Amino acid sequence: MSTAAAPPALNTRGRWPPPPGPRAAIVGSRRPSPYGEAVAEQLAAELAAAGVVVISGLALGIDAAAHRGALVGGGATVAVMGTGVDLVYPAAHGALAEQILGGGGALVSQFPDGTLPRRHNFPARNLTMAALSDVVVVVEAAQASGALITAEAALELGKDVMAVPGSIFSPLSVGTHALIRDGAGLVQNARDVLAALHVDREVLDDPLKPPGRTGFELGRAADGLVLHLSETMAVGAAELARKLQIPIADVVGRLTSLELEGAVRRHGSGYLRALRRRK
């Protein structure tokens, strides 16, 4: 990163500066679809496993998924905050912030301690995220999403911008599809991002892996996934992924297969074990 693109002076908690190496910001909707959340977590996990520092904003939705994925991948992740580093926002992410610090990452802010989460803070925070990153990846963004501010800032700073395609029927795809139409790099998997960062990651191209598989293996835990579901209390895919330490993309795929087999059923935003037939 050039000094011309350096962000303002930062207040920090945790390890700062982060480990040397490429940095990728992963940003997107605060209310993502299960698909978007799975993509963000999986991308972050594989990028972190390849030595990339994952940067995001500690917000609900895609940001949180990116931080969680980086932790699963065993790498460092940096949360760029729109408050002071002494005030975690949203408060529900207090535990996630501690996990980021415990994983060798950092909380950083251009605002002094005691700064409250004011609306006008976040566009400035987004510019700082772009300045700290070598590439910005947008995962699900509506037409007026704040993630597009980060992408625009990255372009102004001469950084690469990439986007994940989504459903043409989803309003969450409007922003990402517009970025791709206007020249942003297409992200189909972590290899696309690593190529933009000029990182050679042979493990993601292992010819012995089945086609379409990621750099992670489910292991035996996935075979008993249904055992972690209740017949009466729905559990979300993200919660299962965190509990079992399995990438959320794999959990979503397995749940889909189990649903087709009739072993689980959807209930609201979660899943239930299918009721057993009474003889």
Render pLDDT for 121-156 as a digit per residue (tens, 0 to 9): 999 999 999 999 999 999 999 988 889 999 999 999
Provide the mean pLDDT of the chain: 84
CA distance 129 to 66: 14
Pick from 91, 38, 93: which is nearest to 69 by CA?
Answer: 38
For the four alpha carbons of 141, 144, 150 and 152, in that order, the dihedral sign comes to positive
Q: Provide the CB-side half-sphere exposure for 134 (13 A, CA).
A: 17
CATH architecture of the domain with residue range 3-205: 3-Layer(aba) Sandwich (3.40)
Whether omega for the bond prior to residue 17 falls within 30 degrees of 0, making it cis, is yes
For the cut 80, the answer to whether the pLDDT of residue 35 exceeds it is yes
220-273 CATH fold:
Arc Repressor Mutant, subunit A (1.10.10)
The tens digit of pLDDT for each residue in 153-189 reads 999 999 999 999 998 999 999 999 999 999 999 998 8
Q: Tell me what pLDDT residue 185 has.
A: 96
pLDDT of the residue at 264: 84
Percent of the chain with pLDDT strictly greater than 90: 55
Could you tell me which residues come within 8 angstroms of residue 217 by beta carbon, excluding any fewer than 6 positions away?
none
Q: How many Å is the Cα radius of gyration of the chain?
A: 19
Give the pair of three-digit tokens for residue 110.
């251009």
Q: Where in the chain is the domain with CATH 3.40.50.450?
A: 3-205
Computed from CA positions of residues 266, 68, 89, 6, in that sequence, does the dihedral angle turn out positive or negative? negative
Other beta carbons less than 10 A from residue 15's beta carbon: 15
**Phi, psi dihedrals of residue 40, rounded to the nearest 5°:** -60, -45
CATH 1.10.10 location in the chain: 220-273
Helix axes 34-49, 237-244, angle to 10 degrees: 30
Predicted confidence at residue 161, as pLDDT, reads: 97
Full-model pTM: 0.74
pLDDT computed for residue 37 by the predictor: 87
**Dihedral angle sign, alpha carbons of residues 79, 83, 85, 87:** negative
pLDDT for residue 223 = 41
| Residue 263: predicted pLDDT | 81
pLDDT tens figures, 63-100: 999 999 899 888 999 999 999 999 999 999 999 999 99
Q: Are 125 and 85 in contact (CB under 8 A)?
A: no
What length does the chain have? 279
